[in-house]
Amino acid sequence: MAAETHRRYVILAEGAFGELPSKTAMGVLRYGRDPVLAVIDSSRAGRSSSEWLGPEHDVPVVATLGEALLRRPTALLIGIAPQGGKIPPAWRAIIAAAIEAGLDIVSGLHEFISDDPEFSALAASHGVELIDHRRPPERQEVASGRAHRPGSHVILTVGSDCAIGKMTVALELRRAALDAGLSAVFVPTGQTGIMIEGWGASVDRVVSDFVNGTAEWLVERAEQMGDWIFVEGQGSIDHPAYSAVTLGLIHGATPHAMVLVHESGRLSHHGWEGEDGRGSPLKSVAQNIALYETVANAVAPSRVAAVALNTVALSEEEARAEIERIAEQTGLPVDDPYRFGPERLFAGLRAALEGEVTSPENLTEAHG
């Protein structure tokens, strides 16, 4: 059995690698600490993750579990986060075969692998672990109105949509803060972040009465680890299905500042592109800033202090022009921190935040 902290992964992303539902696969490939030996997706077999993630992430895509096993992995990681979080029925046979081949299973689905009678029986007989990273913490408490530790800067990424890069932006900003010699912490609030960082809580799996309280608690733990705290946001405040989780994070974390993540050119909420008559158009950057500041300030003072653009759909020239345009429109620091590096965006954020919120009086007012 593999040790908890060192697994050799094969990632299952059948039919989805490189697309939005495989954001868990992408996040672990980009930011995970343990090696990934192969990705399973028969529709993209023979290609490499470097096509999507750049030359520093050269992992082969293979067609079958059998091929992946030749590389001697110790765990199969479920690399998708589908809407609703069910185990895809077509994947059951692959998961079962992986268990029989002696692999641990690491999953972030809502439907827990370890609660499945077939999988848990198989795992017991083959001596492997089933790890459900989305299983909520035992702790279930409502928010208490805790004031932030003096000296901390709590920054929450918020988005104009789900699956738009909020985790990536938080991780990139944390890296910039560390590179600047500061003590900085990433707070995982979803399964991929937890897989990458080894702690956190999947707030969308927490009983709804305790979402705000769980977010407050995660920030409390982070404030014991460092000064610059980057909380991974979830969903979006105008998302028809996920807005409850988004608001609980905002009101529970009571961030000093928010970073708005927006994808240039995305027109509708992911999965709500208008088929079946349920279109749900994205709001503009300016509308999002106004909406997030209104809802955050309903509980504690906060503001959008920077905009992180996801410019994947644009050429480099177009991207730089769009960044300039949004910066002029909003008067805020704007950049694509994944494409152009997080340093400039973090410097802008730091300039906006330092000198603020350092006196205990201000902190007490945060819940006044």
Q: Which residues bind its own copies (CB under 8 A)?
A: 83-85, 110, 140-147, 203-209, 211-213, 237-245, 247-248, 251, 254, 272, 276-281, 283, 291, 294-295, 298-300, 364, 367-368
DSSP for 215-256, please give it.
HHHHHHHHHTT-SEEEEPP-S-TT-TTTHHHHHHHHHHH--S
Among candidate residues 162, 349, 328, 164, the one with its CA nearest the CA of residue 257: 349
With contact defined as beta carbons under 8 Å apart, do 135 and 210 qualify?
no
With contact defined as beta carbons under 8 Å apart, do 272 and 278 qualify?
yes
Minimum separation from the CB atom of position 54 to its own copies (A) = 32
Minimum separation from the CB atom of position 133 to its own copies (A) = 15
> Exposed/middle/buried for 347, CB within 10 Å: 0-12, 13-18, 19+?
middle
Residues whose CB falls within 8 Å of the CB of residue 233, separated by 6 or more in sequence, listed in order: 156, 157, 158, 159, 166, 170, 189, 246, 249, 258, 261
Q: What angle do CA 175, 149, 363 make, to 5 degrees?
A: 115
Q: Find the helix or strand (DSSP H, E) in which 172 lies.
A: helix 166-179
Nearer to its own copies, 107 or 311 (CB): 107
CA distance 244 to 135: 19
Nearer to its own copies, 127 or 145 (CB): 145
Minimum separation from the CB atom of position 262 to its own copies (A) = 15
Among candidate residues 287, 302, 290, the one with its CA nearest the CA of residue 251: 302
Minimum separation from the CB atom of position 296 to its own copies (A) = 10
Nearer to its own copies, 35 or 274 (CB): 274
Nearer to its own copies, 20 or 295 (CB): 295
Nearer to its own copies, 79 or 213 (CB): 213
Nearer to its own copies, 115 or 318 (CB): 115
Minimum separation from the CB atom of position 261 to its own copies (A) = 17
Minimum separation from the CB atom of position 73 to its own copies (A) = 30
The CA distances from residue 9 to 105, 158, 197, 251, 368, in Å, are: 9, 30, 15, 36, 48
Amino acid, res. 56: E
Minimum separation from the CB atom of position 357 to its own copies (A) = 16
Reading the block at residue 152, the tokens are 């901390």
Minimum separation from the CB atom of position 237 to its own copies (A) = 6
Nearer to its own copies, 31 or 272 (CB): 272
